[in-house]
Amino acid sequence: MTKRQVLVIALITLLVAAVWTAVFLVMGRQKEDRKFVPPPFEENAEAGAPSETDDRYKMFDFAGVYSAGLIGEPEAKDGKAEICFASAETNTVWLKCKILSADDGTLLAETGVLKPGTFVRNVTLLKDLSGDVAVKYRVISYEPETYYSEGSVNISTTLHVLQ
């Protein structure tokens, strides 16, 4: 091999090494930018379970893993939906509830995280709605402290928006 060939191979090797170094630096920085931010706890949580509920309120058991209470067909008025979302005192997970449009999955409202033995009566709607709206509750469960997912379930229902 001539000196020129050795020099070309050395330059190509250095160039490849520099490109790989840049790629690893950029990938590492992107990972840092995507750190997990835990969802906040529900600031309006109350201890216990809702006491003034009607026959629309149901306690759901999710495969024996956890239980949650919800109003089966919630009503909304003045930008708030009454859902009475409750985490059973016997739960070993933390829960959160989202209300999503059944049509396109748009987020319409959500609670903060609830610890076992607490509930939240109302959630604020994120957009103006009218009439009867097909929605689904998405109940999300988290392992306490770590926020590892313990799964989620969807419950289809109708949100009745009152004028």
Portion of the chain with pLDDT greater than 90, in percent: 67
Tens digits of residue pLDDT in 103-118: 999 999 999 999 999 9
For residues 163 and 130, is the Cβ–Cβ distance under 8 A?
yes
Beta strands in 40-79 (DSSP E): 46-47, 57-62, 66-71, 75-77
Asked, for residue 41, whether it belongs to a domain, the answer is no
Statement to judge: residues 105 and 57 lie in one domain:
yes
pLDDT band at 27 (very low <50, low <70, confident <90, very high): confident
Statement to judge: residues 69 and 118 lie in one domain:
yes
Asked, for residue 8, whether it belongs to a domain, the answer is yes
> Does residue 34 or residue 62 have the better pLDDT?
62
Say how many C-beta atoms besides its own lie within 10 A of residue 118's C-beta: 22
Which CATH number characterizes residue 100's domain? Answer: 2.60.40.2550
Statement to judge: residues 62 and 112 lie in one domain:
yes
Statement to judge: residues 156 and 111 lie in one domain:
yes
Statement to judge: residues 61 and 107 lie in one domain:
yes
Statement to judge: residues 69 and 149 lie in one domain:
yes
DSSP assigned state of 113: B
Residue 127 CA from chain centroid, whole number: 18
Token pair recorded at residue 41: 């706890």
Statement to judge: residues 140 and 106 lie in one domain:
yes
Mean pLDDT rounded to a whole number for the chain: 90
pLDDT at 31: 58
pLDDT at 21: 79
pLDDT at 3: 80
Domain count, the chain: 2
Structural domain boundaries, residue 145: 46-161
Asked, for residue 115, whether it belongs to a domain, the answer is yes
Statement to judge: residues 109 and 141 lie in one domain:
yes
Portion of the chain with pLDDT greater than 70, in percent: 94
Tens digits of residue pLDDT in 67-81: 999 999 999 999 999
Asked, for residue 28, whether it belongs to a domain, the answer is yes
Asked, for residue 40, whether it belongs to a domain, the answer is no
- Rounded to whole angstroms, the Cα distance separating 100 from 85 reads 15
For residues 61 and 95, is the Cβ–Cβ distance under 8 A?
no
Statement to judge: residues 18 and 73 lie in one domain:
no
pLDDT band at 7 (very low <50, low <70, confident <90, very high): confident
Helix extents (H) in 34-141: none
pLDDT band at 66 (very low <50, low <70, confident <90, very high): very high
Residues 6+ apart with CB under 8 A from 120: 42, 44, 45, 46, 83, 84, 85, 111, 112, 114
Asked, for residue 68, whether it belongs to a domain, the answer is yes
pLDDT band at 55 (very low <50, low <70, confident <90, very high): confident
